[in-house]
Amino acid sequence: MEVLYFMVPLALAFAGVAVVSFIWAVKNGQYDDMTTPAHRLLVEDNDKSGKKD
Amino acid sequence: MNPNNATDVRTSNVSSKLNATDSPEKHKVCAHCASPLNSESLFSGDNNFCCQGCQTVYHLLRTDGYARYYELLADSGKSGGRLDSASLQQDSSDPLRWVSTDECGLLSLYVPGMSCAACIWLLEHTVLREPGVVSARVNLEQRTILMKIDTDSNQSEVIRSTIRKLQSYGYPPAPLARKLKSQNHQTRKDLVNLGIAGAAFGNVMLLATSIYFGDVWGIDAGMARFFNWWSFSIATACLVWPGRIFFQHALLALKSWSLHIDLPIAIALSVAWVTSVYALCTGGALFYFDSITGLVFLLLLGRYVNARIVERAKNLSGAVNGLLPPESADCRPGDIVTVKVGQNFPADGTIADGKTTVDEAALTGESRPILKVSGDKVLGGSRNLSGAVTLTVDAAGESTWIRQLEHRIDEASRGRSHIKTLTEKLLPWFTCGTMLLTIVAGLLWWPSGSAKAVEVMCVVLIVSCPCAIALAAPLSMTIAFRRAWEHGVIIKNHDCLERLATIDSIVLDKTGTLTKGNPSVKSCKIMGLAEPTPDDLALACSVLSKSLHPVARGIATWLKEKLPEHFRTDWPFINVEEFAGEGMIAECADRTVIAGKGKWVADFLALKKWNHSVGSILEDGDEGSSCLVCVLRTEGSELREKTPTTLLFNLHDNIHEDCGFAMKGLLQKFNIWLLSGDRRVSCVAVANAVGIAQENVISTATPEAKLAFIRSLSDAGRKTMMVGDGINDAPALAAATVGVAVKGGVDIALSSADVFLTKPGLARIAELIDFARYTRHTLVLLLITSTAYNLVAVSLALLGILHPGIAALIMPLASLTVLTLANVRTGEHLWKSSTLWCPLPSRLQESQS
């Protein structure tokens, strides 16, 4: 069971990475608009011209 | 030119319009906006348009390669926005005045006209095509386009050309309210806090569960200590980062000697932390880190969900553009400005040259256009109806009457007395009870030793944390808001539902609220001896539809319905002249049509020496308006016959169909008043029709008078609900206990009201008040339930048998119970008059319905 002394901090480190990624995603504006992408589905874009950010 | 295309265009509901776009009926509606065609329509091959505006946009979109827009519109089940030439006129002001980029070249354009997937596609592609634009992204809920401009290019030029392009497609951008930016910022912060709290909660619970199982099945003491130290780090991080808001609020409350629900929460959190750290350092067994993180997470979750729905409702009211066009910012007193037909006056002023009728309905409630000649004063924001004029500006910008009104609205809403919410009433009792029980616990356990006594006191303080209570109100409000939203009632403020439950008086506006706002023909009397021929009537109809005057349009619509098969657009008019506010005259090769107020027509005929017996002409003593229409056979300036066709029309404003029925129910339960800016005669007529007593009718009320009336009712101790739709209602809406704006209301009414109804008619109001009362009962139930949980936990603590694990479980359990109860009591049975409706409304003021 001593392995837990290593595993638990490792697991928590992973959790930390997840939290940091989450904060990055929020600051990057990915959670700003949760409704418009649903409408975007209706538009099948044949021409991929125009830069989509 | 194919007149047969215009047959049978009586369809006016949306579903038949939708079918129209892919069946042979396609030719009967406008190819762009799907409105029914009329005699003004333009017919050109296989695409017909209702007006110049729609035709322009249609061809523009096709030539620019956006024909797919129409396919996408059909897929979404929508149609293009109704455009008249006035709205397509290029804005002469410099758009850079109200829009600018930040350092990275990012810019948000607010486009209130967008509504669906087709709009997203069109707008993003349009903006991307502009040279210098790097990216464009539409946010449908906020109705903004976020675009990034290349910092190397001439940014002002890019902005200008983009805006011009959008205006030409019929999607004019408008100034963006500053608050949207800070709103996004706040949402992001809330979400980050919530995420961190959630991660902390999950991980600490994992560690805690191991320890609890370890208590039962055995765990290495070192391992337990190891886990506890990690729990400590995570919980502390949780408290200082996401949880700090509770402490900040608690400190503020302490400083100002007021009671805030975060105060007992902060106390509970602190005590829990101190107890657990003490146990950690001295090798004790009381660890509450899991409770701490659980509390923080649940409370933040409740607040987050609540904040989002309130924000969503606020966004729908749009930026308060007001009725002043952007160029009003340029005006200074003494400037001379030209105002074209269909435009809004940019500032208060005096007419220097020209003559016209203006529509002040949105400002003063006067439903009929007012004649203005040289020397008359006009208000900024009123609409120019019939003739271009030049204006000398008297008051501009902040000094205009409408801006002053907006300031008064702000004042009125701030002055509204604050009704204590149920939670606020409960809180002092709760806090006292907690303190009392803590002392009792101490006294009870003192004999067993001070350590034990302190321990029990701490536990009591921890489990008495009003977590579920703090959640009950926001949860029930959020769920109630959603339900109401689904039924077309949008509520903007937290405490609005509680205020609604206390209403005992309702004050109704007349035009637009009780009535539909469009005069329609009530009766048509044939004067004289001549029998009108259909041809004459069709000619008269065509003449009248050229006018912007509501009375003329009302008659034209009525005639169109009666004789649809006689439409023509190729009447050989020699001359058409409108006399602002009085009437109009149109000359053909073989006939002349004169229409207008009775006296004016008689005078005009006398002037032309075409005297004949027109019979007794009624004056405007009636409840509606009356209009005389004469069709004379003439040639040049000679009268060919002695007995012309003469018709006398009586018009009135239609009352919404469900008013009668809804009013019966309302009259039984509430005191009802009718408050309007219109004339006494019209008001009394409408009041009689719906059943309001005559002494409760107040007419010719200015916005100040309306405000004063509401205040007088409040002073008398009544809780009033004000229902209105125009600017003249706005201060009253802000000052009433609850302000309700109805569909079609102007922006300023929408933003000063607490509730808006997206469907016309009064039935919603009765249902809304019932729903508010039901929600209040739900809230009481939730508060009782959560208090019960706390009581059980405290009892266990007093007895000394509360295990920390149980404490950690009770909080989430209580929250879950509260959540389930709130969801179960939907109140669906109260919304009798409606069916469920799409949660994301496309536009509040749809042009088609």
Q: How many CB atoms lie within 10 A of CB B95?
A: 22
Can you tell me the mean pLDDT for B818-839?
Answer: 72
Please name the member of B135, B141, B207 whose beta carbon is closest to the beta carbon of A53. B135
Is the Cβ–Cβ distance between B713 and B814 less than 8 Å? no
**What pLDDT was estimated at residue B842?**
38
Mutate which of B64, B108, B181, B223 to disrupt the A interface (most A C-beta within 10 Å)? B223
Q: Out of B206-210, B263-267, B301-305, B308-312, which region has the weakest mean confidence (pLDDT)?
A: B308-312
The least confident of B33-37, B548-552, B717-721 is B33-37
Instruction: Please name the helix (run of DSSP H) or strand (run of DSSP E) that holds residue B660, with its range, or none.
Output: helix B659-669
Element (H, E) at B463: helix B450-463
CA distances for B160 relative to A9, B83, B93, B108, angstroms: 56, 22, 11, 14
Average pLDDT over every residue of B488-515: 83
User: Residue B101 and residue A28: Cα distance in Å, rounded?
Assistant: 18
Top residue of A30, A36, A41, A48 to mutate, by most chain B CBs within 10 Å, is A36
pLDDT band at B837 (very low <50, low <70, confident <90, very high): very low
Average pLDDT of every residue of chain B: 78
pLDDT of B580 above 70: no
Type of residue numbered B589: A
Which residues does B138 contact at the CB level (< 8 Å), separation at least 6? A36, B114, B119, B120, B123, B124, B144, B145, B146
Is the pLDDT at B315 greater than 70? The verdict is no
Strand boundaries in B330-445, DSSP class E: 336-339, 348-353, 356-359, 370-372, 377-378, 383-384, 389-395
Q: Report the candidate in B113, B105, B5, B96 with the shortest Cα–Cα distance to residue B57.
A: B113
Percentage of chain B modeled with pLDDT above 70: 77
Q: How distant is the Cα of B117 from the closest Cα of chain A, in angstroms?
A: 5
Among the listed residues B123, B136, B148, B113, the one whose alpha carbon sits nearest the alpha carbon of residue B69: B123
**CB contact (8 A) between residue B188 and residue A31:** yes
Shortest CA distance from B203: residue in chain A: A12
Q: Model confidence over B425-473: pLDDT tens digits?
A: 888 888 899 999 999 998 989 888 888 888 889 889 888 888 888 888 8
Q: Which of B116, B117, B134 sits opposite A51 (nearest CB)?
A: B134
Tally Cβ neighbours within 10 Å of residue B527: 20
pLDDT at position B227? 93
Q: Which residues pair with B48 in a beta bridge?
A: B43
Please give the C-alpha separations between residue B804 and each of B283, B288, B458, B796, B813, in angstroms, as whole numbers.
Answer: 15, 6, 12, 11, 14
Q: Look at the alpha carbons of B776, B780, B785, B789 in this order and tell me if their dihedral is positive or negative.
A: positive
Cα separation, B323 vs B384, in Å, equals: 12
pLDDT given at position A8: 93
**What DSSP designation does B36 have?**
B
| Cβ contact B140–A31 (<8 Å) | no
Contact criterion met (CB below 8 Å) for B214 and B224: yes
Return the HEC string of B64-126: CCCCHHHHHHHHHCCCCCCCCHHHHCCCCCCHHHCCCCCCCCEEEEECCCCCCHHHHHHHHHH
The more confident residue out of B226 and B493 is B226
At residue B687, the pLDDT reads 85
- Which of B191, B210, B312 is most worth mutating to test chain A (most A CB atoms within 10 A of its CB)? B191
What is the pLDDT at residue B257? 87
**CB-based contacts of B235: which residues, under 8 Å, 6+ apart?**
B200, B204, B273, B276, B289, B290, B292, B293
Contact B140 A1 (CB under 8 A): no
Residue B336 distance to chain A (closest CA, Å) = 45
Token representation of residue B628: 């005389």
Q: Which of B124-128, B565-569, B646-650 has the highest mean pLDDT?
A: B124-128
Beta strands B505-508 and B720-724: pairing type?
parallel
pLDDT at B70 over 60: yes
Least confident of B78-87, B291-300, B621-630, B789-798: B78-87
Q: What integer is the mean pLDDT of B156-167?
A: 82
Chain A residues near residue B144 by CB distance under 8 angstroms: none
CB count within 10 Å of CB B5 equals 15
Give dist(CA B833, CA B758) in Å, integer: 14
Would the pLDDT of B230 be above 90? yes
Average pLDDT over residues B19-38: 59
Residue B10 pLDDT exceeds 60: no
- What pLDDT, in 10s, does the model give residues B658-679? 777 788 888 888 889 998 877 7
Cα-to-chain-centroid distance, residue B473:
24
- Give the range with max mean pLDDT: B19-23, B270-274, B595-599, B763-767: B270-274
Residue B304 has pLDDT above 80, yes or no: yes
In this predicted model, which residue has the larger pLDDT, B115 or B241? B241
What is the model's pLDDT at position B208? Answer: 92
Please answer whether residues B176 and B210 qualify as being in contact, where contact means their C-beta atoms are separated by less than 8 angstroms.
no
DSSP 8-class letter at B277 = H
B140 touching A (Cβ < 8 Å): yes
**Interchain contact, A43 vs B125, CB within 8 Å:** no
pLDDT at B38 over 50: yes
**Which tokens is B159 given?**
């902005």
Q: How do residues B240-288 score in pLDDT, each as one tens digit?
A: 999 999 999 999 988 988 888 889 999 999 999 999 999 999 888 889 9
Which site among A2, A5, A12, A20 would you substitute to test the B interface, given the most B Cβ atoms closer than 10 Å to its Cβ? A12
Over 60: is that where the pLDDT of B321 sits?
no
- Mutation choice for B interface testing from A32, A44, A52 by most B CBs within 10 A: A32
Tokens encoding A15: 């959790």
Stretch among B36-45, B521-530, B544-553, B710-719 having the lowest mean pLDDT: B36-45
Determine whether the interchain pair A12/B203 forms a contact, defined as Cβ–Cβ distance below 8 Å. yes
Of B72, B191, B203, the CB nearest to A31: B191
pLDDT of the residue at B205: 93
Instruction: Quote the pLDDT of residue B741.
Output: 85
Give the best-scoring range by mean pLDDT among B218-227, B403-412, B476-485.
B218-227
Kindly compute the dihedral angle of the four CA atoms of residues B596, B600, B601, B602, in this order, to the nearest 10 degrees: 150
Helix (H, G, I), strand (E, B) or coil at B174: strand
Lowest mean pLDDT among B191-205, B392-406, B697-711: B392-406
Q: Which amino acid is at B344?
A: N
Residue B6 backbone phi and psi in degrees, to 5: -90, 10
pLDDT tens for each residue of B611-656: 655 444 444 444 456 677 777 777 666 666 666 677 878 777 777 7
Q: Which of B170-174, B262-266, B730-734, B747-751 has the lowest mean pLDDT?
A: B747-751
pLDDT score, position A14:
95
| pLDDT at res. B419 | 64
**B219 touching A, CB under 8 A?**
no
Output the pLDDT for position B82: 57
Whether the predicted pLDDT of A11 surpasses 50: yes
Cα angle A42, A44, A46 (rounded to 5 degrees) comes to: 165
In A, minimum Cα distance to B148 occurs at: A53
Residue B190: closest C-alpha in chain A: A26
Element of type H or E holding B442: helix B422-445
* Dist. CA B342–CA B352, nearest whole Å: 18
Nearest to B433 by CA among B466, B472, B467, B473: B466
pLDDT for A23-36, tens place per residue?
Answer: 999 998 888 888 88
Full-model pTM: 0.69
Do B188 and A27 lie within an 8 Å CB cutoff? yes
Taking the CA atoms of B665, B667, B671 and B675 in sequence, report the sign of the dihedral they define: positive
The span from the CA of B399 to the CA of B328, in Å, is 11
Q: How far apart are CA B604 and CA B632, in angstroms?
A: 13
- What average pLDDT score do residues B124-144 get? 84
How much is the pLDDT for B71? 76
- B23-27, B31-35, B311-315, B795-799: range with highest mean pLDDT: B795-799
B224 at A interface, C-beta within 8 A: no
Cβ distance of B226 and A8 shorter than 8 Å: yes
What pLDDT does B477 receive? 84
**Portion 3-42 of A in contact with B at CB < 8 A:** 4-5, 8-9, 12, 15, 18-19, 22-23, 26-27, 29, 31-33, 35-36, 39-42
Judged by a CB distance cut-off of 8 A, whether residue B223 touches chain A is yes
